[in-house]
Structure 1
């Protein structure tokens, strides 16, 4: 039995990727199960660690304790959830599912789910460990994305996330704990992107371990192209406009790069009378008032058919992330036949073939983003770019393709 460990089931991109992988494996006859702290959508193959109100309160108390452990060290509020000391966790090694597992597949396990001490007890069980990385945390001294810092290549310290960085700061201590942990065990790492796989092989903590590149899967029947005119009429959107999609990420989050999207839209060299903006997702009131094109805000969408419809209704999607691994939003949009424009960072160039199924913009260049949007709108009038976007997903990211690669890895470890 393959057991996936993830703090969350559907909260955040890493949790979505873990849940989709578990389901893909089960759909292809692999005995796969997912253990999370709380099951938002209970069902076959999903087990919650917290099954009672009391256990859920205990978990959130651990989450609070984890954050309080970092509070004296944090530089400012902007880094509060970008650094995980892994000081607090639940005793997962005692859980019946963990005891029964043949292979344990770690995903995103922070925020009070697994501590470093808990990882050590888990590794001591002697079971094969696969660690699917959804960010850089496995090989850093605590940060999930390094924001350009390269200390992890030799030894963490002088951490830019900390209020008092120094040679022997908190990142140094966590790095030493991980070093001791990895010296006594064997872990097989999986990276969804070439970018993260490369960093894993260069990082001081993980360079000696095998790292396989296997992407995240997506259900290509759930996310699929649909007739744009019918969709837009149903959603109350204009049928005679070209719609540029932005998926409503937190506009205050540095990593999501909203200022570059804003600047790109405001300098677009396209007919403004026929071009408008489509957004969905959680956002603050008035977040998009600084855009000079009309906005259609669908709000926060929770139904997957509505989300897929929003992707399919757009002509192009823009993802201006400054740091990212393999964004689910890009997979979802391309599966729906919507080309994407994004910066040349992380796993985005793995997904977008430049000027074939989308546009890879120069890093931190709003002008290049604007050029990319215009290129897609100018070159997709017959659906050529859209079809290429869908075909890329069908050849690389389907449940069948990804489940086969993971199953081959599990079998090799057994």
Structure 2
């Protein structure tokens, strides 16, 4: 029997918790349901769950709040500030994480997203436990960026970093890359990626190209994320019954360029100049209505930030189609959640969403970053009632067969067993 420890920077119930924290917690819950003695270690605990552990002292929450700012201090040389944030995680400040993990004494460690100072790069090799690392973005094999924005410097040794605005080979990104290369050169590591796209990126990286990689999608509880009758869902949210509702949502939905709201905006502007202007309306969650909202020519319902899963299920069920127009996405958890609620998804034919959306089966994959084809995909998903009903059925089927927490948890148990066996074999040599 395993006693795994799952590690994630964010508490899954924190307001700023991203999909990776929710993915880790869902797996934790799946393990507990199977009778596995799982625990989860986070930087700053908010959730009321005794199996989730935070820093064991009163200063822990204070330290966790100031550590990201301290960790980012070297970035100020490159112009980093609140007005001009540079999204590179350096992970250089020491902390007591290794001793804390040693006290917990798990059989196996499953790392998820551990940036913002939670686990220093050099600490990982000191855990002396079998390690499974679930990649939820690109940080592990880059010079510090979570998404490379199309840069391929991570296939070499970073440096000349476009995110830093650097033209120097020995810049901060190169420094981070070299620290990883030195600290992890003899690390016995099992890598899991949440999508085939992320696995391909990992294999092309100079740091981890020789590692074996397993692909396991993020799981979800299909008994929670399940369809609600659309009319009922709309009544609960006071949404119109006589419109076809288009849904879009993410953390910082309208301001995070990676999430592609500007591309959706262009597609919807095209639709507003057609007869669809009178048929559709838009729902946005993850952002409140801005002071100067975009005029699409039709009504927009801004829902703000939502952490309550029950409200998310109602939102997904109320919509006719979910749009996930991300430019870079390791997986696309809002897409899988939408499918589980029987709502088809329109995305671009790129990155991790290719594993989630099956073209013209449970949604539509538009040509890469084409506003025109994104608009075409919305029309295609909505214009034929019989086709739409089939898409909804197949969306739910995909979620049950591929993203079900039970299926995903059993896949992880197989990985844990293999990782522990290999770790013990290496120690015996």
Q: What TM-score comes out, normalization by structure 1 length?
A: 0.94
* Distance change >3 Å, CA 76–CA 302, structure 1 → 2: closer
Over residues 80-139 of structure 1, what are the superposed CA-to-partner deviations in whole Å (9 max), with x where a residue is unaligned? 3521111125321101566411111111111121112322xxx23421111100100100
Shift of 1:74: 4.6
2:333 is the counterpart of 1:328:
yes
Report what 2:288 is aligned to.
283
Report what 1:394 is aligned to.
400
- Report if aligned partners of 2:75, 2:86 keep a CA contact under 8 Å in 1: no
Aligned residue runs from structure 1 range 189-200, under 5 A: 189-200=191-202
Q: 1:237 aligns with which of 227, 236, 239?
A: 239
2:40 is the counterpart of 1:26:
no
Over residues 184-216 of structure 1, what are the superposed CA-to-partner deviations in whole Å (9 max), with x where a residue is unaligned? 212111000000001111111001111110111
Shift of 1:27: 1.4
* Distance change >3 Å, CA 262–CA 50, structure 1 → 2: farther
2:312 is the counterpart of 1:307:
yes
Unaligned residue ranges in structure 2 (runs of 5+): 421-429
- 1:370 is paired with a residue of what secondary structure? helix
Q: 1:366 aligns with which of 365, 371, 391?
A: 371
- Report if aligned partners of 1:3, 1:98 keep a CA contact under 8 Å in 2: no
The CA distance in 2 between the partners of 1:305 and 1:380, in whole Å, is: 27
Structure 1's consecutive aligned runs of 4 or more residues displaced over 4 angstroms after TM superposition are 74-79, 96-99
- Report if aligned partners of 2:6, 2:111 keep a CA contact under 8 Å in 1: yes
Report what 2:20 is aligned to.
14
Report what 1:227 is aligned to.
229
The CA distance in 2 between the partners of 1:348 and 1:380, in whole Å, is: 25
- Report if aligned partners of 1:69, 1:87 keep a CA contact under 8 Å in 2: no
Q: Cα RMSD between the aligned structures?
A: 1.8
- Report if aligned partners of 1:316, 1:341 keep a CA contact under 8 Å in 2: yes
- Report if aligned partners of 1:191, 1:214 keep a CA contact under 8 Å in 2: yes
Aligned residue runs from structure 1 range 169-208, under 5 A: 169-208=171-210
Shift of 1:59: 2.2
- Report if aligned partners of 1:360, 1:372 keep a CA contact under 8 Å in 2: yes
- 2:242 is paired with a residue of what secondary structure? coil
Over residues 5-36 of structure 1, what are the superposed CA-to-partner deviations in whole Å (9 max), with x where a residue is unaligned? 11112211111111111111111222211100
Q: What TM-score comes out, normalization by structure 2 length?
A: 0.91
Q: 2:121 aligns with which of 116, 120, 143?
A: 116
Q: How many residues align?
A: 410
2:414 is the counterpart of 1:408:
yes
Report what 1:356 is aligned to.
361
